[in-house]
Structure formats: structure tokens, C-alpha cells
Chains A and B, each alone.
Chain A
Amino acid sequence: MAEVTLIKAINDALATEMARDPSVCVLGEDIGRGGGVFRATEGLSRRFGPERVIDTPLNEVGIVGMAIGMAMNGLRPVAEIEFSDFIYPAFDQIVSEMAKMRYRSAGQFTAAVVLRAPAGGGIRGGHYHSQSPEAYYIHTAGLVVAMPSTPADAKGLLSSAIRGEDPVIFLEPKALYRTVKGEVPEGEYLVPLGVGRIVRPGSDVTLVTWGGMVPVAEKAAADAATEGVDVEIIDPRTLWPLDIAMIEASVKRTGRAVVLHEAPRTCGFGAEISALIQERCFLHLKAPVARVTGFDTPFPFALEPSYLPDPERTLRAIRASMDF
């Protein structure tokens, strides 16, 4: 097994799935000869040809709508949106068309599209290159929302998404594209959707987090360990449908829960996870569920380091939970 970056693992997943199944196509802006602005599709055009690696005009409505029609007519499209911040023109196509095709036609038509989009901050990209939009999609019936935090998960989850029968919003933590490396199995490799990962086992506090915040959580947990606090980190990997069983079992054991995400706090996914924990683990809780999140402001360019949760803020929440 080779050590590769997260972006390379995504490229590997696309190439592997395209080689396995001729109906898999990728489409988007600059993805062909350009190989994508983050190089996720590098080399695919040469290998699979421009009919399956489709450079589209600059129009997100067109990309998503076209992908829906391709999926309805037997292809397995993987559409790339250059940054998740640029999806909004196509939001209607996603939430009203792609997500609902199966339901509104009672299963006669489906739109199993995978929409890949770099998300999150940490790259000094300012407001339009840093947002964390997962809650919009989690709130939408019919969508699967996944976000990997390791190269192996990136490959395995993306491959499962491509083979699945539901539309998937596949958010990629762009801050981790080249900053994390890890072993990735060669050839076909699947990580099932809907199953979380215990990043680090622990017995005192359950810390639920995903995407670009996983390394932050790991640092905070290491710091907490020096203070004698044993943190269990859970990365759901698929945000929706959530692996609630894994979280529930963990919180019932530890009695404490902290949710960490970089998206704004209000109506963020942390709110939903907190509610689920309260509903399911109330009698086991020794402290209120805590949230460490981005602020309810637009994403700030200059103040990005203060906006994004860091190990320090996370550690404070862990301590507060322990001291409650």
C-alpha cells in the first residue's frame, strides 16, 4: 500500500471506478485537459477520453442538470463543482430535482448523481472559497452527504457513492487535500456509506467531528491526554444518514459529548447531533452536549484563524464538559 494525499486518493477512486464501469463519467469545468483546479481529475481525460471526462461550459445549473439527465438515462455521472461555494446557482437543481427525482416519480426515475465539491476553510480562500454548506444538504430529504477526512476514506467513500443508487453530495475538505497523507488500498476499495469511524478510542468524552476538523480534534485530544482526559473521537464520514448507533454507544459509555465543526453554529449539523444525543442518551449524560463551531458570521478572510475552531477552543469545551 502506498502513502498518498487525499486528492490523489480521490483521483484513484475516479480512475478505478471509471475503469471498472464504462457508464461512469465525470463532468465539470476545467476537469479535462486542466485536470481540475485541484488536480482531482488529472490524467483521466487522456485515459478515458473526452466523452467520459467532459469539460462543460461554465454553468453550474447546466452541470448539475445535465448530470441528472445523464443519470436518468443510464450513466453514472460524477460532477465536479470547482468550489462548494459556487453550487448555489444550481441549488434548485440539487434540492428540488436531483434529491426528489426518486420520490416524485415513485421510483420510476432516479438521479444517482455524485456531486463532488471542495468545502471548508483553512486555505486563505476568503468568503467564496471557504464555506461549509453541509447543513443545507443534510436538511434536504433524498440526499446522502459524505465528507472524508483521510485518503483511504476519500477513496472508499467516493467509490461507494459512485456505485450507490442515491444522489450524493460529496464534500471534500480542501484544507486536507495535500496536508494529510495515508495508506490507501490499491484497486477497488469501498467504505460503506452510513458507517462512522472511531478515529481514536477513549473513555471520558465523545468528540464528534468530520472533514477538516478531524486533525484539530486529534490535536485537542492529544493535549487533553496530557491532562489525564481520555477523548474518543468519532468521524461519522457519512454525515447523512448519520451513524447514530456509533455515537449513541460511545456517549452512553463516556457520558459526555462535544460536537466540533467549522460551519456556523446556528442550525449547523452540531445542533442536530446535540438533539439526537439528548433524545437518546439523556440519562447517561453527565454534562450538557457542547458545541465548538464557526461563528454566525460570513466567513472572514483576514480573521480566518480566529473563525475556524482550533485545538485550544476544542480543549476548553472538553475541559468544561469534564468540570461540569
Chain B
Amino acid sequence: MTDAGILSVLRPDGTADPLLDPGLPDPELLSLYRHMVLLRAIDEKAVALQRSGRIAFFAPSTGQEACSIGAGHAVREGDWIFPAYRDHGVGLMRGYPLASLIGQLFGHTTDATRGRQMPNHWCDRSIRLVSVSSPVATQLTHAVGAAYAAKVRGERVAVLATFGDGGTSTGDFHAAMNFTGVFRLPVVFFCENNRYAISHPVERQTASRTLSEKAAGYGLPGVRVDGNDVLAVRKVVGDAMERARAGEGGTLIEALTYRLGPHSTSDDPTVYRSEAEVAGWREKDPIRRFAAFLKGRGLLEDPAAEEAGAKEIVRAAVEVAEGAPPVPLSSMFEDVYAEIPWHLAEQRDSLLSGTG
């Protein structure tokens, strides 16, 4: 992997490149920051909950907040989101309620999806945030189909699909990129190249110099962006979504970033990467970088107070979700089919009556 052609907006001195600055109003800038802080607070709490055995699993996004918050901010009403498991920030940015997000971690009755999947598998139809699947990159072809449907109806909407560098090795990725090119569909493929797929470095996923250059093989534009720079992500994804809405087709975006934490709560990253490497990336922390910019603009006074506030919001949400009643046993048999067929009715009845 080279570092060639990576678009940044935030400079090392904490100012923004005026030529590339997406020019967001102050309240929006502050909202980006607050969502990044909230996302990290969720991560910290969720990992702690898993460590103490209160939830089963978690895949954190610490270090990648600029990606999902920046991309999420570029999504408009009517657009569709087909996210990977690490991209709860996109939904959060679109207004996915924190209560539902935290509720999903516990799988109790405050989980809108009724405890059907492990944590990190959110969805919310009201904002077109589509159900996350565990198999990597399967959502990419669904994004193609949703985009096709929108296109034939003449809707000016875009579809955002997010995934990791590992996802670019899958057949689903190839199929989705190829179909998007052939049918000229409004799909924005947002690849968060966080350098690792569990323990595999990105060099083990591909022999190409960059991931973005793969776009050329499918007749799509490919863009590389600094994934630790929320304004750069916002600009690049925003531009691609606009192109898509205008009927100009899809884009592949490669955002260069780094996962500071483990792949998931089941992972020990110390066995495959050095402390020095991690420390180097910690210096590029996207939240601290953006905070410096906001301070320079006079928009942020006390980051510590912001962080404390976010922690309190998350703590309160956890209290509600953890205290919610468990999902009823009978719900296991619902939503398999539109109506419950005879065999599921029989199995449900025997379970409920203790005769099964």
C-alpha cells in the first residue's frame, strides 16, 4: 500500500484547507464532533459491558470515528445505508436512536429486532438503515438492488454501502462493483481501509497498490481519502453521493484509517501488530485532530466536559436497556415467514406447553 493521492482537509496545524473544506455551518461541525465523542463513549462502555459478561460481544470503531460520522453526515433523507458491523456511527449520525442502538446490544425488548442477532447488527427501516449481516460484504449486492429499484422509479437518491478492506477480497464485492458499473447505479462504496481484517494486513488482501484503483476495472471512479479527517471524509462521500443522486453513477472510496482497538472483544491484537505501530496511529486520533480544529475556530472549549457528558448519556441508555424485559419465547417463531406455518406453530406450542 502506498500513501499516494490521499485527500485531506485538516492540516497538521489544526486549520482546514480552504480549497477542500466542505464549508459546513458551525452547529453542524459541532454535531460531527459530538457524534464522534458519543461513538467512542459507546465503544468504551460496550467493551466494558462485554468484559463484565453483561453483553455477549462487541466490535468497536475506536480510531475510525471520522469515517462513519463523516460518511453518515453525507447521507440525506431518502438515501439508503447498507452498513458493515463496525459502522453504527453512520446510523447514529442519521438519527438512529441511541436507545435502540444500546437496546440491540442486550437483545431485550428495547431491541427493535427482538434479540435476533448478536450485538453490532442494527437496523432501522424508518431511516433506511438496513439490517447488518455477519458474513463480510454480502450487503454490497443488496445495495445494488436497492439502487436499481430507486433508479427505475426515477428517485434522486443515493445508496451508501460501507465495508472494510477485507471486504474487497470477496466475490460479493466484485459482483456489486461490476453490476454498479454495468447498470450505472447510484451506489457509493465506502471502504474503510483500517489496515487489518482481524489479523490479516491489507497487503494480504490484495497485491494492488491501492484499493481505490480497483474501481477502474469496473468503470467507476476511485478516490482515496484520509479516513482520520472527518471533514475530508464528509467532502469526498458528500461529493460521491451528489454524483450518485444526479444520475452519474457509483464511486469507490477508500478511506485510510486505523482500528485502534481490537477487531472485536474476542480478539487479541497484540499478537499481530506492534505497540509502536499503534502508538503512531494514536497520534493521528481523529477526535483529537478535529477538536484542535474546532478549538481554533472558537467552537469548542472543554473537550473533557464533552466526553463526560457523552459517557453520562450512554450510561443512562444502558441502564434502561439492561433493565428491559427479555423477549417473549414465542417470538422465536415469528418473522420466519410472513405468516406462521403449521410446523412452526406446532413447534412453538410444544415448547410453550413444555411437551416439546
Contact = CB atoms under 8 A, between A and B. Distances in A.
9 contacts: A57-B175, A59-B175, A65-B138, A67-B145, A69-B146, A102-B338, A105-B116, A105-B131, A244-B343
B34 to A, nearest CB: 27
From B117, B141, B178, B343, name the one whose CB has the most chain A CB atoms within 10 angstroms. B141
A92 interface: yes
Interface in A66-120: 66-75, 77, 89, 92-93, 96-97, 101-110
A68 B176 CA distance: 12
A104 B133 contact: yes
Given A69-B147, A106-B114, A108-B123, A194 B138 contact: no
A291 B15 CA distance: 77
B152 A51 contact: yes
Q: Is the interface of A mostly helix, strand, loop or mixed?
A: mixed
From A25, A107, A141, A245, name the one whose CB has the most chain B CB atoms within 10 angstroms. A107
Given A72-B142, A73-B145, A109 B123 contact: yes
A160 to B, nearest CB: 13
B178 A62 contact: yes
Interface in B289-345: 334-338, 341-343
B336 A141 contact: yes
A77 B338 contact: no
A25 B145 CA distance: 12
Contacts of A300: none
A101 B338 CA distance: 11
A125 to B, nearest CB: 25
B145 to A, nearest CB: 2
Interface of B: 80, 82, 112-114, 116-117, 121, 123-125, 130-131, 133, 135, 138, 140-150, 152-153, 171-172, 174-176, 178-179, 182-183, 334-338, 341-343
B63 to A, nearest CB: 28
Interface residues of A, number: 48
A294 interface: no
A103 B145 contact: no
A166 interface: yes
B141 A69 contact: yes
A108 B129 CA distance: 10
